[in-house]
Amino acid sequence: MTWTQLPLGPIQTNAYILKNSKGDALIFDPGGDADTLLQWLQDKQITPLAILLTHAHFDHIGAVDAVRDAYSIPVYLHKNEENWLEDPELNRSTAFLGRTKVTARPAEQILHGEQSLHIGSFSCSVLETPGHSPGSVSFYFENEGIVFSGDALFASSIGRTDLPGGNHQQLLESIHSKLMDLPEETIVACGHGPTTTILREMDSNPFLNAL
């Protein structure tokens, strides 16, 4: 399998496309610029099977409905944020002056706790990693050696916790107990900025020195 990082939307949130050899794919956090994303998928002859959301802040959901409707595919989201897609207050799009309110229809698939997820030929582990937001999850693909962490962990940083529902200590515990427990060579596909690895963050992330 191969993966591609596409920064999209008003603050260039990383969407990721994980593709198998047949051209089937999963899309993670399509944050905006729907026309750009749809054209890219068409040009690459990729067939999405599902949209997986690490969480439901506005900058991660802006293209959800457009992609969902274009391919008639389901959206997966954690139960703790199942009402956020429809609510601009909860997804925080109303907090940014001058920006259009962002909404999407409810997710078809609600994730209840940690579990193994199987979609077509794709298999992953759903890890609950709250702290940045109450329903934040990370999708770990063991065979591919990659975890899609959303805004939990960044290269040399961690997700912000000053938004409603954020909890700094909870985020540190999520990173320590879920992400840092993954193999050191695991690629961390972050919600913003460059990718990193578990080992690199173990060694040099200043926010994790106390872990």
Task: Work out the percent of the chain whose per-residue pLDDT is above 70.
Answer: 97
CA–CA gap between residue 36 and residue 16 (Å, rounded): 14
Q: pLDDT tens digits, residue range 125-171? A: 999 999 999 999 999 999 999 999 999 999 999 999 999 899 999 99
Q: Which structure tokens are listed for 83?
A: 């009402």
Q: Which residue has the higher pLDDT, 69 or 93?
A: 69
pTM of the model: 0.96
Task: Work out the percent of the chain whose per-residue pLDDT is above 90.
Answer: 92
CA–CA gap between residue 133 and residue 127 (Å, rounded): 14
Q: Among 148, 71, 150, 76, which residue's Cα sits nearest to residue 110?
A: 76
Burial of 185 from C-beta contacts in 10 A (0-12 / 13-18 / 19+): exposed
